[in-house]
Amino acid sequence: ALRARRPRRLLAAARALLFWALVYGYCGLCACIAGLRLLWSIGRRPGETFRRAVRENPPACLNDPSLGTHCYVRIKDSGLRFHYVAAGERGKPLMLLLHGFPEFWYSWRHQLREFKSEYRVVALDLRGYGETDAPSHKENYKLDCLITDIKDILESLGYNKCVLIGHDWGGMIAWLVAICYPEMVTKLIVVNFPHPSVFTEYILRHPSQLIKSAYYFFFQMPWFPEFMFTVNDFKVLKSLFTSQATGIGRKGCRLTAEDIEAYLYVFSQPGALTGPINHYRNIFSCLPLQHHEVIMPTLLLWGERDAFMEVDMAEITRIYVKNHFRLTILSEASHWLQQDQPDIVNKLIWTFLKEETTRKRE
């Protein structure tokens, strides 16, 4: 028996060694590429490379009353204060919205206006983002902490269940909350993020997705990723939403100059990038999952022009949902789907919610 165990232990140790060699090797490669880009920028426009505009006051769109009311809730156990924007009457069913990276509550502006007629819609700033408290140590951003945040917020708002919607990294958290606390999620809606188990398995088998997820590895480095975002007055942040490669396309609902300024204002505040990037600095020690199945009705929406996530992962996700599963892929849409195609996304969400209500009545 002991002889049989030794090869297994050696094999497990070898796999772990190869895994972490891949993580840190790819991290080093991404850092080298980022360093070369920085040197190129300094060589071409040294004056502009380190220039940053001072942004002391938020743009008016962040205080638009039609979007809802700015609120705060302090969680007893963690002591953290969370910021959120709420629309719709208290007492209505809760719809909880979890944003991605690099976003904040404002990415749900179209949904705050749309669903407040029938729901208490809450768009959260996740731990470390925007006006929500940002713990300084990266260990405070482990997936367990992020999942517990959602459970605690739900209870602090006076609810025991909700319609949970997540985009990108917020989609990752939404999947995990649905897996760990299924009694709290009546319906799950995820935008442009596959089931976490699909993601971890797919990325190791498909080099093309590994390349698209390079930022996961780059973010393992301390301070340098944050610095690269600030170069050329946050040029990387702007290009994510506006460039031809990664941004919202011509047929989409493009961000206005004020929308862009809202993002720049939030992420240009001192230390505003460290919390969001810390979310990624624990990812490789938290996956793969021990539990996989999702048991509530689930809608997965996907923009086919997503520059960061391959669409094949969307269909594979079906095998982990042990209930009604609907997948809708929008051919002309980008990664920023709920901002890119808000009318279509809102209509699809309404259809899904009413369809499930009708099924239950039957």
- Give the separation between CA 242 and CA 219, rounded to whole angstroms: 22
Residue-level pLDDT at 358: 44
Asked which of 22-36, 103-117, 326-340 is least confident by mean pLDDT, the reply is 22-36
3-state secondary structure of 182: helix
Question: Which of 83, 280, 320, 340 is the catalytic position?
Answer: 280
Is 125 one of the annotated active-site residues of the chain? no
- Give the separation between CA 357 and CA 255, rounded to whole angstroms: 34
Summarize pLDDT for 240-266 with one digit per residue, the tens: 999 999 999 988 999 999 999 999 999
3-state secondary structure of 163: strand
Residue-level pLDDT at 23: 79
**pLDDT at 319 exceeding the cut of 70:** yes
Cβ–Cβ contacts within 10 Å for residue 84, how many? 24
pLDDT-based confidence at 10, cuts 50/70/90?
confident
- Give the separation between CA 169 and CA 166, rounded to whole angstroms: 8
pLDDT-based confidence at 288, cuts 50/70/90?
low
Q: What share of the chain is helix, strand, coil (3-state, %, to 5)?
A: 55, 15, 30
Residue-level pLDDT at 14: 79
Question: Which of 83, 99, 195, 335 is the catalytic position?
Answer: 335
Residue-level pLDDT at 154: 98
User: In this structure, what token pair is assigned to residue 197?
Assistant: 């188990």
Which segments of the chain does DSSP mark as H helices, in order?
2-44, 46-49, 109-115, 143-156, 169-180, 196-205, 207-212, 214-218, 224-242, 257-267, 274-278, 283-286, 312-316, 337-340, 342-361
Q: What are phi and psi of 75, to 5 degrees?
A: -85, 130
Residue-level pLDDT at 297: 98
Q: Which residue has the higher pLDDT, 20 or 166?
A: 166
Q: Please compute the mean of the pLDDT values over residues 215-231 and round it to a whole number.
A: 95
**pLDDT at 285 exceeding the cut of 90:** no
Strand partners, 163: 95, 187
Terminal-residue alpha carbon distance, the chain = 56
Q: Which residues of 241-255 are buried (b: 16+ CB within 10 A; e: fewer)?
A: beeeebbbeeebbbb
Residue-level pLDDT at 328: 98
3-state secondary structure of 301: strand
**pLDDT at 208 exceeding the cut of 70:** yes
What value does the mean pLDDT of the chain take?
Answer: 93
Q: At how many degrees (to 10) do helices 224-242 and 2-44 cross?
A: 70
Is 149 one of the annotated active-site residues of the chain? no
Burial class, 278, CB count within 10 angstroms (exposed 0-12 / middle 13-18 / buried 19+):
buried
pLDDT-based confidence at 107, cuts 50/70/90?
very high
Starting at the earlier edge strand, list the strands of the sheet with 120-124. Answer: 69-74, 81-87, 120-124, 94-98, 162-167, 185-191, 298-303, 325-330
Is 110 one of the annotated active-site residues of the chain? no
Using alpha carbons only, give the angle 160, 124, 325 rounded to the nearest 5 degrees. Answer: 65
Q: Please compute the mean of the pLDDT values over residues 190-219 and round it to a whole number.
A: 94
Cβ–Cβ contacts within 10 Å for residue 172, how many? 25
Length of the chain measured in residues: 362
Q: Please compute the mean of the pLDDT values over residues 304-315 and round it to a whole number.
A: 97
Asked whether the beta carbons of 300 and 190 are under 8 A apart, the reply is: yes
3-state secondary structure of 218: helix
**pLDDT at 66 exceeding the cut of 50:** yes
- Give the separation between CA 281 and CA 315, rounded to whole angstroms: 28
Percentage with pLDDT > 90 across the chain: 83
Question: Which of 125, 133, 168, 259 is the catalytic position?
Answer: 168
pLDDT-based confidence at 3, cuts 50/70/90?
low
Asked whether the beta carbons of 30 and 218 are under 8 A apart, the reply is: yes
| CA 14, chain centre distance (Å) | 32
